[in-house]
Amino acid sequence: MSIQRYCAKKKNAFMNRRDKTFILASLAAGAALLLAIAFAKPGFYAAKNISSILIQCSAVAIMAAGQIYVMVSGGIDLSIPSVMMLSGCIGALVMRQTNNILLGILSIMAVAVLAGLFNGFSVAKLKINAFVATMITMLVANGLSLKVTKSSSIPVPQEFTGLFGKYYGPVHANIAVMILCLIVLQFVLTKTGFGRCIYAIGTNEKSAQACGIRTDKVKIQVFLISGILSGIAAIVLTARIASSSLSLASDSTSLDVIAAAIVGGASIKGGVGTAVGAFAGAFIINGLSNLLVLFGIDYYSIQIIKGMVFIFITYFDTIRAKARRA
């Protein structure tokens, strides 16, 4: 028995190690990427520049953290960037009409919350596959954004950019909001009973149900959270670029967000991942985009290259999941 115990312990240690190896591998890939940038453009890593990278990736990091919640619960949310764009545009319009920042922020959050609830309701109550349900939301949000903006760019008031788009001492407001979000989300996900329920559902939804966990409630809450984070990302982004338009989210932002989540340790199959991981993932994905731009590659080629990389990343997720199971 003692030998068996020893072996079982070893197996667990081994599996943990293997899982860690994979996470380390993805981080190493990220580090290599950043090194490559350093070689491609010396001076890139000046303190000021690091801070600007962080600012740049803050919106994606916030959205990826929302994505993590959905993915840990075993779902996926394709609509995050589109909801972000829609709420940003509506918020900007409201601010232009009323010149009231508070009303603007409230309308941004209202749109984001509604979209999140809609996703949650479709998935948890109507039992529509998360991929399909959120894709529909994505299309609707894209269409609505086009309608309300009429493809024009809507500037936001100075007070708004002053509030969320400026430096406070050495720290940019975007970074502060991002870090605050990450701390809260990481805490809720890994330390609270609610977080435990999300992991449970992602690991085995049927078992979670039989344990008395109200899986439909939790799923709605999870989509609600990803909606709220879309709204926060919208605030951060519109404040930084001082306007709202259809360019808040590009075609590939949705994939950026998912890829950031997966690089950060989440799995399409659910049950794993952390909010902090999403941050690391967003940082790496953003680094990749930067690198490609630095090499002078045009926008469309970047899309193609990113597509390839995403295939690799999702493949990476499957082998990681296999390792976890073995």
Partner 1 sequence: MERRSYFEAVNLHKYFPGVHALNDVTITADKGSVLGIIGINGAGKSTFMNALAGELAIDSGEYYIGGEKTEIRNQKDSEKNRIALIHQEAVVFKDLTVAENVFIYNLKDYTKAGRLQYKKMYEDASRYLSMIGAQVNPRELAKNITVGEKQMIEIARALVRDAEIVLFDEPTSSLSLEEKENLFRIIHQLKEQQKIVMYITHFLDEVLKICDRTVVMRDGEVTGDFRIREVSTRELITGIAGHEVETVVNQGEENEGEEVLKIENLNCYPAVKNINFSVHKGEILGLWGLLGSGRTEIIRSIFALDKPDSGAIYKRNKEGKMLKISGHKLLEECAYVTEDRHYDGLFMAMPIWKNITMANIRNFSNGMMDVQKEHEYSIKMIEEMQIKTPDENVLVETLSGGNQQKVIMARCIGKNPDVFFIDEPTRGVDVNAKSFIHRKILELARQGCAVVMVSSEIEENLNLCDRVLIVRNGTITDEVRKTDISKQNLMDLCLGIKEGQNE
Residues of this chain that bind partner 1 (CB under 8 A): 1, 4-12, 14-15, 191-193, 195-197, 199-200, 203-204, 206-214, 271, 324-325
Nearest approach, Cβ of 70 to partner 1 (angstroms)? 19
Closest by alpha carbon to 89, among 222, 224, 241, 299?
241
Pairing mode, if any, of strands 243-244 and 154-155? antiparallel
Nearer to partner 1, 5 or 48 (CB): 5
Minimum separation from the CB atom of position 262 to partner 1 (A) = 17
- For partner 1, the closer of residues 144 and 197 by Cβ is 197
Phi, psi of 39 (to 5 degrees): -70, -40
Cβ-based neighbours of 278, under 8 Å, separated by 6 or more: 61, 64, 65, 67, 68, 182, 260, 261, 264, 266
The DSSP annotation for 192-215 comes to SHHHHHHHHHHH-HHHHHHTT--H
* Dihedral Cα 117, 120, 121, 127, nearest 10 deg: 170
For the bound state, the minimum distance from the C-beta of residue 113 to partner 1, rounded and expressed in Å, comes to 23
Report the residue number, 41 or 324, with the smaller CB distance to partner 1. 324
Q: How far is the CB of 192 from partner 1 (least distance, A)?
A: 6
**Beta carbon nearer to partner 1, 2 or 151:** 2
Our CB check for partner 1 shows the closer of 226 and 267 to be 267
Cβ 195 to partner 1 shortest distance, Å: 8
